[in-house]
Amino acid sequence: MKSFYLPYPSSREPGLTLFARFDVPDEPRPLLLSMHGWHGQVKEDHPDNVNPAASAEWFVIRPEMRGRGDSGGRPDCNGWELQDAVDAVFYARAKFADRIQNSDLVRLTGGSGGGGNVMAMVGKFPDFFCGARAECGVSDYALWYRNDEKGEFRDEMDVWIGTSPDKDPEAYASRSGVALAENLLTPIVLFHGELDERVPAEHSRLFVETVRRMEKGHLISYYEFKGVGHPGHYSGMTSAQEEFRRKTGGEFLRAACRRITLPQKGRFMVGGYLKTRRFEVILESLNRLAEIEYDLSRSFFRLHALQPLKALVRLLGEDGRWAEKALESDPASYRQPFSASRGSLTSDTAV
């Protein structure tokens, strides 16, 4: 296996140069997109990165988030930086086609801040990934902001989001995986330390609880490690727990080998934007949360939002071309906006 740190273009911002590390195997291997930690980067090793060990069984893509390493731009906390990561997949498919096995099947993994990326990405790109693994991830950025007594993460959110959750709760919800959890179509496994101080286990519990409340529990597995998480995410982990994490996480991703089928009609929550293989919805602001009602058989779309909202809808035609049309929110009924419940969910297995 050889590793290359390479530039690639942004599909969202022409002229913006991004970087990623591509771990290229000697023989074709399945794709694994791996997200780095909140303060992390991939140009150099960083203690905030909670990533599985490099393995020759995968073609691993490690995107350098905006403003990190050599990547241009500024971090936007689960905004367009998530599209940047997907752009890295398309770049790899083109440049390393002969080293990728089943390029249509992409697995996703990440921990800590990267785990928060994973929870949001399966909601913003509901049919792109065939399997996902989120470790000690942030599911609710408003909750994380308010509980950050040390100020370790809050200062960046003030800049990257541009406001506080008290001033603009919708801006935080639009970036939070728990607000998009009902979109879940991708099988996902979550791991968390019971005593995690930096990202409390409540974040994974909330995400799992929301998914199950939406009657999608068959898609999610959650494992919480007893006595683990102080002072680091996995401090205090025993060798048996580490072996369980490694084996269970690996087996889960290896078993995720089915292309996700998008329902012909339905509803999705849109946090800033939504990207599917068949259609896309781009709101006028990353800070808005909306609901899109759709029926592809009729090319029908209806947008619901708390306040008047404009969006761009792109629809893929049978000729392979994308058609665009403007859409304005319907002032009619809108379901109760996102609010995270504070349940007492326990893991499938306390390890």
What pLDDT is attached to residue 60?
A: 96
Q: What's the domain range around 302?
A: 265-328
Residues 241 and 311 in one domain: no
The rounded Cα 161 to chain-centroid distance in angstroms is 16
pTM above 0.75, yes or no: yes
> Is the domain of 158 the same as that of 236?
yes
The answer to whether residues 288 and 196 belong to one domain is no
304-341 residue pLDDT tens: 998 899 999 999 999 999 999 999 998 765 555 544 44
- Rounded alpha-carbon distances, angstroms, from residue 129 to 256, 271, 323: 9, 18, 24
318/249 same-domain check: no
**Contact yes or no for 161/176 (Cβ under 8 A):** no
Residues 178 and 125 grouped into a single domain: yes
* Mean pLDDT (the chain, rounded): 92
Averaged pLDDT for residues 10-32: 96
**pLDDT score of 348:** 55
- Tell whether the model's pLDDT for residue 22 goes beyond 60: yes
> What are 42-58's pLDDT values in tens digits?
988 777 667 655 578 99
Based on the structure, what is the number of domains in the chain? 2
Which residue, 235, 255, 275, sits at the end of a domain?
255
Instruction: Please give the C-alpha separations between residue 322 and each of 255, 277, 279, 315, 317, in angstroms, as whole numbers.
Output: 33, 11, 8, 5, 6
Whether the pLDDT of residue 2 is over 50: the answer is yes
Whether 208 and 242 share a structural domain: yes
